[in-house]
Copies of this chain bind each other. A is one copy, B any other.
Amino acid sequence: MKFDPVLFAKAIADETRQKIMGECCCNWLSVSEIVEKVGFTQPTISHHLAILRDANLVKIREEGKQTFYSLNQEYIAVCCGQIMVKFAPETSVTENLLKVINQ
């Protein structure tokens, strides 16, 4: 998956999607469970999940009738790292990040 900083930013640039991301950050949730936790209609949640999926920000596991989603933490870390390298290259935080990555 090629990194696109605008696509990534657009995907996370919404209150509802960030709520969804928070809910399925460290665990797998079905769509219905996310609907319950976030509190919009099922189609609205599916719509947001599709945007997150298209940006590669969620992992998917189908199981019978249900579909489970979990945050793609590795890729999110990569995206944030790339943005730091691109827009904050002269900071110590980014320099340390690069040191760790290139070692």
Contacts and interface: CB of A to CB of B under 8 A. Distances in A.
A86 to B, nearest CB: 7
Contacts of A35: none
B91 A100 contact: no
Specify how many copies of this chain sit in the oligomer: 2
Interface residues of A, number: 35
Contacts of A89: 25-26, 73
Interface of A is mostly: helix
A26 to B, nearest CB: 6
Interface of A: 5-6, 9-10, 12-15, 18, 21-22, 25-26, 71, 73-74, 76-78, 80-81, 83-84, 86-91, 93-94, 96-97, 100-101
